[in-house]
Amino acid sequence: MIDVQLYRYNPECDDVPYMQSVTLPEAFRGRMVLDALEYLRKLDPTLAYRRSCREGVCGSDGMNINGKNWLACIKPVAEAIVKSSLLVIRPLPGMPVIRDLVVDQTLFFEQYKKVQPWLITHDQNPPIERLQSPEDRAKLDGLYECILCGCCTSQCPSWWWNPQQYLGPAALLQSLRFILDSRDQARIERLSNLQDPFSVFRCRSIGNCSWVCPKGLNPMGAIGMLRRELMRDAI
Ligand code: SF4
Ligand code: SF4
């Protein structure tokens, strides 16, 4: 059997959160953590977590698995317990828990909205569609693939300390994605919105964000590039 420690909290009946001890059949060693949760929820239908696609695309099932944020649907149980025989599942850290493994991501998405994650253009009604060369399109590689799972922001100590002021790695990676887009015409406004001591410059370049990104992206590198864009703009 595989021993599991599962974070449980139902504010309607629990005074405080607690870790529930449960077990999984050995066969789950070869399955994903989400499969394990589905099994456990059949035994206890009160267990709450988010999930949707189960393919690592929707970003719904970000959670903390043995200390590292990851998507439950693409994290093999065997890999998670390689250093200990215990599987420990907690909600994403730094975000208020609504119930069990479900966290409140309101602030995370407010910060995403703050960077205006859409193309802004000033010349309305162009005669033809806005074309982009293959070279300019390639500049978005490593940025556009972000699925907004929140794993990076939730694992970022700078965001834990200043969640209201520091935008966090996911929003900043998305900001760079639009600043570098050759079709966007709001580079100056976007950069000036970030010119304060907190929004970007609270990043301490420790790299927790890049360590956990389940899509293999490099938010820390993106923030470094964003800093260079800000400094270039200020000169
Ligand atoms: S950068 Fe990676 S970890 Fe962060 S939200 Fe996007 S996909 Fe998730
Ligand atoms: S590198 Fe920056 S954004 Fe990434 S975890 Fe560290 S402080 Fe947070």
Question: In this structure, which ligand is nearest to the CA of 152?
Answer: 1
84 pLDDT tier (thresholds 50, 70, 90): confident
CATH number (domain holding residue 49): 3.10.20.30
Q: Is the pLDDT of residue 232 over 90?
A: no
Does residue 186 have a pLDDT over 70?
yes
What's the confidence (pLDDT) of residue 108?
Answer: 98
pLDDT computed for residue 218 by the predictor = 98
For residue 149, pLDDT beyond 80: yes
> CB–CB of 119/129 below 8 Å?
no
For residues 8 and 99, membership in a common domain is answered with yes
Q: What is the pLDDT of residue 125?
A: 86
Residues 66 and 170 in one domain: no
Last residue of a domain, one of 71, 103, 135: 103
45 and 158 share a domain? no
pLDDT over 60 (residue 77):
yes
152 shares its domain with 216: yes
Clarify whether residues 99 and 143 are in a common domain.
no
Whose CA is closest to atom 2 on ligand 2?
203
Q: Which domain holds residue 41?
A: 2-103
Which bound ligand lies closest to the C-alpha atom of 146? 1
The residue-averaged pLDDT of 7-27 equals: 97
Statement to judge: residues 150 and 227 lie in one domain: yes
Tell me what the mean pLDDT of segment 60-84 comes to. 95
Q: Supply the pLDDT for residue 216.
A: 97
pLDDT mean over 118-126:
91
**What integer is the mean pLDDT of 63-73?**
98
Q: Mark whether 49 and 143 lie in a shared domain.
A: no
Chosen domain end from 103, 124, 143: 103
Per-residue model confidence (pLDDT) at position 176: 98
| 90 and 14 housed in the same domain | yes
Atom of ligand 1 nearest to the CA of 213: 3
Q: Which of 209, 210, 212, 225 to mutate to test the pocket of ligand 2 (most atoms within 8 A of CB)?
A: 209
**Together in a domain, 132 and 16:** no
Identify whether residues 82 and 156 lie together within a single domain. no
Position 233 pLDDT exceeds 80: no
User: Residue 105: pLDDT above 70?
Assistant: yes
Total domains, the chain:
2
Of the pLDDT bands very low, low, confident and very high (cuts 50, 70, 90), residue 12 is very high
pLDDT at 235 over 60: no
Q: Which residue out of 108, 204, 212 has the highest number of ligand 2 atoms within 8 Å of its CB and is therefore the one to mutate?
A: 204
**Mean pLDDT, residues 216-222 taken together:** 98
Q: Looking at the structure, do residues 145 and 69 belong to the same domain, yes or no?
A: no
Residue nearest to atom 6 of ligand 1 (CA): 146
Closest ligand by atom to 166 CA: 2
